[in-house]
Amino acid sequence: KNEVEQSPQNLTAQEGEFITINCSYSVGISALHWLQQHPGGGIVSLFMLSSGKKKHGRLIATINIQEKHSSLHITASHPRDSAVYICAAPSHPSNSGYALNFGKGTSLLVTP
């Protein structure tokens, strides 16, 4: 089983701050996922990445396959970024798709 660890568990930031959330996993994988869960409960897939870096708006995700580590960065944070951010990895190296093991999530609160 792929153990997925996230840090920090909770994060409070002021609007405009640069935010980093970290994720490590125990088993080599084909792709790592970052998800966002809104206060209302809905889930959005933010990134699926297998190497290097991806950027979408103010969100940047990076992955280091050798170190089994990924980071999610939010630049110029805004209160609407407040949500739980979840890292997930396939349960087995040969698995792909969305049969995933999930981290416990990072609860982010951005204050004005």
Partner 1 sequence: NAGVMQNPRHLVRRRGQEARLRCSPMKGHSHVYWYRQLPEEGLKFMVYLQKENIIDESGMPKERFSAEFPKEGPSILRIQQVVRGDSAAYFCASSQQRNTEAFFGQGTRLTVV
Residues near partner 1 (CB under 8 A) are 30-31, 35, 41-45, 48, 86, 88, 91, 95-105
| φ, ψ dihedrals at 69, nearest 5° | -145, 140
Shortest CB 4 distance to partner 1, Å: 9
Structure tokens at 90: 């396939």
Would you call 81 helix, strand, or coil by DSSP? Answer: helix
Name the strand (E) or helix (H) holding 82. none
Shortest CB 13 distance to partner 1, Å: 22
Nearer to partner 1, 31 or 77 (CB): 31
How do strand 10-14 and strand 4-7 relate by DSSP bridges?
A: unpaired
Nearer to partner 1, 45 or 111 (CB): 45
Nearer to partner 1, 19 or 100 (CB): 100
Q: How many residues does the chain have?
A: 112
Shortest CB 100 distance to partner 1, Å: 5
- Tokens 């951005």 label which residue? 110
Nearer to partner 1, 17 or 60 (CB): 60
Shortest CB 41 distance to partner 1, Å: 6
d(CA 87, CA 77): 19
